[in-house]
Every structure is written in C-alpha cells, then in structure tokens.
C-alpha cells in the first residue's frame, strides 16, 4: 500500500482532478486546505520580495493537499491522471507529488 500526497498549487483545477480520479476508479481521497512555507513566512516577518510575490500572484498563496491511500498497482494510474490534468510537475508552481509507503490502515478499503 502507498499514500499519495499531492500538493496542488493550481486550486482551480481541483474539481477537474477529482472528476478524473473518479473516472479512473481512484476513490477515497481527502482534501486539505494548505499553505506553503513562503506564505507562512510573510506573516512571520518574511522578506518584502515574498510579500510582493503574494500580492502579484494571489493564486499562489494557497494550495490543496490531496491524500490518497492506494494499492501499489494504482500509483502509476494516479501519476498519469495528475499529469494529464495538471501537466508536468517539473514546471514551477504546478504541484508536488510524494509517494510514501503505508504500513497499514483502518476505516478504509484499498481497492486494487
């Protein structure tokens, strides 16, 4: 089992991503409102440049973190769906994807 952690920077694509997950039979994701470190530093006396970046690009001030527990076999499907909807993740500001081992779970069923 794996835990997919996807930090989506383009929050306007969340609905499209969730619909694509559903069509690919990916179920049970949890969505968390999140903020990156740069935004957090602004409130803690961060640099003027960070503050200006936030004003000039307000869409980059928040993100959504999508948590998805899945079988090992589903990992590539999830990566493919994310790539199709979001585009390549090597483009700055597109998102961050982590695949972590999941040793167990209760309260959910992982489909294969």
pLDDT tens for 42-100 read 555 555 555 555 555 555 568 999 999 999 999 999 999 999 999 999 988 889 999 99
Closest C-alpha among 23, 6, 11 to residue 69: 6
Mean pLDDT of 30-39: 80
- The structure tokens listed for 48 are 């003027």
Token readout for 8 is 């989506």
Q: Which CATH number fits domain 2-34+63-101: 3.30.70.120, 3.30.70.1450, 3.20.20.70, 3.10.450.50?
A: 3.30.70.120
Cα–Cα dist 52/108, whole Å:
43
Q: How many CA atoms lie within 13 A of 14 on its CB side?
A: 17
pLDDT band for 105, please (50, 70, 90 cuts): confident
- Rounded to 10°, the helix 75-86/14-23 angle is 140
- Six-digit token string for 70: 């899945």
Residue 109 has a pLDDT of 77
Predicted TM-score of the model (pTM)? 0.80
């Amino acid at each position: 089992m794996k835990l997919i952690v996807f930090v989506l920077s383009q929050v306007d694509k969340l609905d499209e991503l969730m619909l694509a997950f559903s069509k690919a039979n990916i179920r049970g994701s949890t969505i968390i409102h999140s903020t990156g470190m740069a935004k957090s530093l602004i409130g803690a006396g961060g640099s003027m440049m960070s503050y200006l970046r936030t004003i000039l690009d307000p869409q980059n001030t928040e993100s959504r973190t999508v948590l998805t527990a899945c079988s090992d076999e589903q990992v590539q499907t999830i990566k493919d769906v994310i790539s199709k909807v979001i585009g390549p993740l090597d483009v700055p500001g597109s998102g961050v994807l982590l695949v972590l081992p999941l040793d167990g779970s209760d309260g959910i069923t992982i489909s294969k």
